[in-house]
């Protein structure tokens, strides 16, 4: 099962899918594209892996165990 | 002519029966009823607690629910951040809510908004300020998860947008002047 975690005021909102659940994968893909359109950055990692093993991704990978979405950054 | 009232009978639980004396309706009987029996909501049957108290109790419930939601958000954010840290960073975070991150250009300390210490590989000492957009919506730990991942994957981007100052200097807008001769690729090789 894959999980997408989108950072927000609740900590993060999780979107989950199973590889054999085509509608759930399509829904996750749509959310991926929606987040990407907001200039957010996606990172894929094996569940629980440290930051060194997190990889920047630019397209949805249903096989990813966990995708973390972070916001664009700016000078404070 | 202004009529006056003559008491006819006091009726317990009902009111007072009076007769009008003088005026257009002279002689008519009228039952005077306490206002609490006829006002909207039949107020005399309401609990004696002032309505303001009930409003405050509702607000208290709302505040408690929000506090619980905020606490849950912080727990989720803490858990995610700690899962990304190595042992040393996790120990730093738990002991003083800050941790150091190595980059090709030097070390950055995350944990204090508007006060990210940067120790450049050439000995430069700067203070940086970088935040995620609309960061005030996020639990604290999410802010550092956000910056940690960007710093890991695209350090150049991080330093490009950072505002910075020397330890006693005035703030300047980015990009941060970086030590030459290192690239993210060569750093990855060094760390590997």
Averaged confidence pLDDT in chain B: 85
Chain centroid to Cα B61, Å, comes to 16
Q: Which among A47, A33, A36, A43 has a CA at the least distance from the CA of A1?
A: A47
**pLDDT of B44 higher than 60:** no
> How far is Cα B24 from Cα B2, in angstroms, rounded to an integer?
9
A11 to chain B nearest CA, in Å?
Answer: 4
The per-residue pLDDT for range B97-122, each reduced to its tens digit, is 999 999 999 999 999 999 999 999 99
For an interface test with A, which of B70, B75, B134, B142 has the most A Cβ atoms less than 10 Å from its Cβ? Answer: B142
Cβ–Cβ pairs < 8 A, chains A and B: 102
Alpha-carbon torsion (B158, B159, B165, B166), positive or negative: positive
Cross-chain Cβ contact A50/B83 below 8 Å: yes
Using a CB-CB cut-off of 8 Å, the residues of chain B touching A35 are none
| ipTM, interface predicted TM-score of the complex | 0.96
Q: What is the pLDDT of residue B50?
A: 62
First to last CA, chain A: 37
The pair of three-digit structure tokens given for residue A54, joined into one six-digit string: 């997190």
Q: What is the pLDDT of residue A41?
A: 97
Q: Rounded mean pLDDT of B53-68?
A: 80
Q: What is the pLDDT of residue B191?
A: 41
Q: What is the pLDDT of residue B7?
A: 85
Cross-chain Cβ contact B74/A9 below 8 Å: no
Name every residue in B having a CB less than 8 A away from some CB of A: 69, 72-77, 80, 83-86, 113-114, 129-135, 137-139, 142, 145-150, 152-154, 157-158, 161-163, 173-174, 191
Position with higher pLDDT, B28 vs A24: A24
CB B106 within 8 A of CB B118: yes
For an interface test with A, which of B132, B165, B192 has the most A Cβ atoms less than 10 Å from its Cβ? Answer: B132
The per-residue pLDDT for range B143-160, each reduced to its tens digit, is 999 999 999 999 999 999
> How far is Cα B13 from Cα B25, in angstroms, rounded to an integer?
26
B56 to chain A nearest CA, in Å?
Answer: 26
Q: Rounded mean pLDDT of B50-71?
A: 80
Q: Rounded mean pLDDT of A13-41?
A: 97
């Amino acid at each position: 099962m894959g999980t997408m975690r989108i950072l927000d005021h609740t900590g993060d909102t999780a979107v989950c899918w199973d590889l054999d659940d085509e509608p759930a994968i399509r829904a996750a893909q749509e959310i991926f594209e929606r987040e990407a359109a907001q200039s957010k950055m996606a990172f894929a990692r094996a569940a629980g892996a440290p930051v060194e093993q997190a990889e920047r991704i630019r397209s949805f990978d249903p096989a990813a165990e966990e995708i973390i979405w972070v916001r664009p950054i700016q000078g404070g | 002519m202004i009529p006056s009232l003559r008491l006819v009978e006091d009726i317990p639980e009902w009111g007072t029966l009076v007769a009008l004396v003088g005026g257009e309706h002279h002689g008519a009987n009228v039952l005077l009823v306490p206002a609490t029996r006829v006002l909207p909501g039949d107020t005399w049957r309401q609990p004696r607690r002032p309505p303001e108290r009930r409003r405050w109790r509702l607000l208290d419930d709302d505040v408690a629910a929000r506090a619980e939601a905020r606490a849950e958000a912080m727990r989720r954010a803490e858990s995610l951040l700690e899962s990304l840290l190595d042992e040393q960073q996790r120990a730093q975070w738990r002991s003083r809510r800050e941790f150091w991150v190595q980059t090709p250009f030097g070390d950055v300390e995350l944990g204090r908004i508007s006060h990210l210490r940067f120790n450049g590989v050439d000995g430069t000492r700067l203070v940086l300020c970088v935040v995620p957009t609309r960061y005030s919506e996020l639990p604290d730990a999410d802010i550092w998860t956000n910056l940690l991942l960007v710093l890991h994957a695209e350090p150049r981007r991080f330093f490009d947008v950072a505002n910075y100052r020397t330890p006693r200097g005035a703030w300047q807008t980015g990009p941060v002047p970086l030590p030459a001769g290192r690239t993210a690729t060569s750093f990855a090789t060094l760390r590997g």
